Amino acid sequence: MNIRIEPSWKEALKEEFGKEYFKQLTEFVKREYLSTTVYPPPKFVFNAFELCPFDKVEVVILGQDPYHGAGQAHGLSFSVPEGQRIPPSLQNIYKEIKNDLGAAAGSAAGTNSEIPKSGNLEHWAKQGVLLLNATLTVRASTPGSHQHQGWEAFTDAVIRTISDKKEHVVFILWGRYAREKAALIDGSKHLILESAHPSPFSATHFFGNHHFSQTNAYLEKHGKQAIKWI
């Protein structure tokens, strides 16, 4: 099956594209785009992979569904395009970054340490942060509508492939759903960071996890560049 995805990922995941579940998933997604409004736009379905090639992956941040509102989803977990209002979970992520890294985060990024006014996280992806949703498409205004159609099998394969073929990657798992994916990861050669989800419903248990400073310390320990989070 000829899937339009970044070449290094196409090679790394080539076995998945020929499997029966992926063929059925492809047909399902095609029908959905033809019959209803689906997010993100087709050109952004594999945007996380396009912006963060397989050989560049240093960090994985796992989300669940794309945003289901107009103009919000662009293929990166927790991220929204320029001009979109910053969602509550991302606002809390920014607060934790500021509290965790403080002025050091701002000076490292060449900016001040104020919370960003944009929710576009493409600059994370381009530094090697794979912003992966477990499900890569969703019907408008209907969260969870494309779950259990095959996307989870595919993104589980993505996680396993990174775990098996790379070393010293940081996997950031927020919330119960993401934390269940820890079973796919070899903790002897990667760093797994788990906490509550940054949603306003659980943010009190999310704040103070220090995942951003822990990520950078681990990367630097293994001779890699720290991420400029803001």
Cite the active site residues.
Answer: 65
Amino acid identity, position 225: Q
**Cβ–Cβ under 8 Å, residues 38 and 70:** no
Residues 121, 124, 126, 130: is their CA dihedral positive or negative? Answer: negative
**Sequential DSSP letters for 81-131:** -TTSPPPHHHHHHHHHHHHHHHHHHHHHHTS-SSPPS----HHHHTTTEEE
From the list 138, 130, 119, 117, the residue with the least C-alpha distance to 70 is 138
Amino acid identity, position 188: S
CA atoms within 13 A on the CB side of 188: 1
Measured in degrees and rounded to the nearest 5, phi and psi for residue 91 equal -55, -40
**Cβ–Cβ under 8 Å, residues 58 and 100:** no
- 3-state class of 221 per DSSP? helix
Taking residue 1's Cβ as centre, other Cβ atoms within 10 Å add up to 10
* Sole residue written with tokens 């396993």: 160
From the list 180, 181, 172, the residue with the least C-alpha distance to 209 is 172
